[in-house]
Amino acid sequence: MSVDFLSAFKFNKKHNTIYNLDPRTKIFILLIYSILSLIFQNFFILVTLFLTLVIFFALARDLKKLIAYNKSLTFMIFFIFFINIFYFNIDFALAMIFRLLIMMDSFLLFFATIHPDELSQSLYKMKIPFQYAFSISLAARFVPSLTSEARNIRDAQMSRGIDFQKGSLFYKIRKYIPLLIPLYISAIRKAHFVAESMESRGFNQKIKRSFLYELNMKVLDYFLIILFSIIMFLGLYFTFFLSSIIPTITQLIQLMI
C-alpha cells in the first residue's frame, strides 16, 4: 500500500445517476452498507452485498477506481485472511475479508461521488452544527491534498537516491517513516492558515447559513432510501431468524466429502 491509494477519494465530477444523487441519500446508503457488513456473518451473503456495491460503482463509471483501490489493499487482505484462518476457520476469514472490502469500498463510493461543499450542506440540513459539518467537509477536502504532498515528498527523496521498492516489507515500511515529519509539518501549516482565514471571515458567528445551490431530494432518492430501509429490515430479520438456511463453506466441503 502506497501513499497513492488515498487519491482515489478525490472528487471528480461526472454526470450520471450516482453522482447526481442527493448527498443525504449517499450518507444513508453508506450507513446501511456499514451496518449490514457488520451484522452479516455468512460468506455468501457478504459476497452478494459486495456485488451490489460493485453495481453502484459500475453505474458511477468508477470501476477502474474501485479495482485500483482494492489492489492497494492486497497486503491488508492477505494479512487478515491468514490471521483469521489460523485462529478461526476459512468461513470467518473470508467473511472478514469481504466485511473489510464492503466497508472500505462503500466509503470510497461515498467520498469519490460527493463534493465537499455538498457534504457540509447535507450534514447541516441534517441538523448537525455547521462547525462540525464544515470540519468533516474540510477533512475530506484535505485528504487528496495531503496525498499529493506526500507524493511530492516521496519523489524528492527518490531523486536523492532512496529506493522505496527494494528490500523486505518491513524495510520498505521503515523507508516511509521519513515522509511523516515533513508531511506532518505541512499539515500543521495548512491547518493554521485555514484557521486564520476562517477567523478573519467571522466563521464562528452563529447565524443562519444559506447556500448558493440548494439540495433537493428527487424521486430516485426517496426510492433508494425506502429500498435500503427494506433491505435493512430484511437483513436484520434474516440474521436473527433465518441465518441457518444458507450453508457455510465448511458445511459445503463436508457435504462434498
Which grid coordinates are listed for 69? 483501490
How far, in Å, CA of 78 to CA of 23, rounded? 33
Higher-pLDDT residue of 155, 107: 107
The pLDDT, as a whole number, for residue 79 is 86
DSSP the chain: --GGGGGGG------STTTTS-HHHHHHHHHHHHHHHHH---HHHHHHHHHHHHHHHHHTT-HHHHHHHHHTTHHHHHHHHHHHHHHS-HHHHHHHHHHHHHHHHHHHHHHHSS-HHHHHHHHHHTT--HHHHHHHHHHHHHHHHHHHHHHHHHHHHHTTT--SSSS-HHHHHHHHHHHHHHHHHHHHHHHHHHHHHHHHTTTT-------SS-----HHHHHHHHHHHHHHHHHHHIIIIITTSSPPHHHHHHHH-
Q: What is the mean pLDDT of the chain?
A: 80
Name the CA dihedral angle for 115, 105, 136, 148, rounded to a multiple of 10 degrees.
Answer: -70
The pLDDT, as a whole number, for residue 5 is 61
Residue 54 — pLDDT band, cuts 50, 70, 90?
A: very high
Structural domain spans, the chain? 1-114+218-257, 129-212
How far, in Å, CA of 235 to CA of 40, rounded? 8
Q: Please compute the mean of the pLDDT values over residues 51-58 and round it to a whole number.
A: 91
Higher-pLDDT residue of 241, 1: 241
Q: Please compute the mean of the pLDDT values over residues 192-218 and round it to a whole number.
A: 73
Q: Please compute the mean of the pLDDT values over residues 211-231 and round it to a whole number.
A: 86
**pLDDT score of 225 more than 70:** yes
The pLDDT, as a whole number, for residue 52 is 92
State pTM to two decimals: 0.78
**pLDDT score of 221 more than 80:** yes
**pLDDT score of 26 more than 60:** yes
- CA–CA–CA angle 127, 129, 134 (5° rounding): 115
**pLDDT score of 145 more than 60:** yes
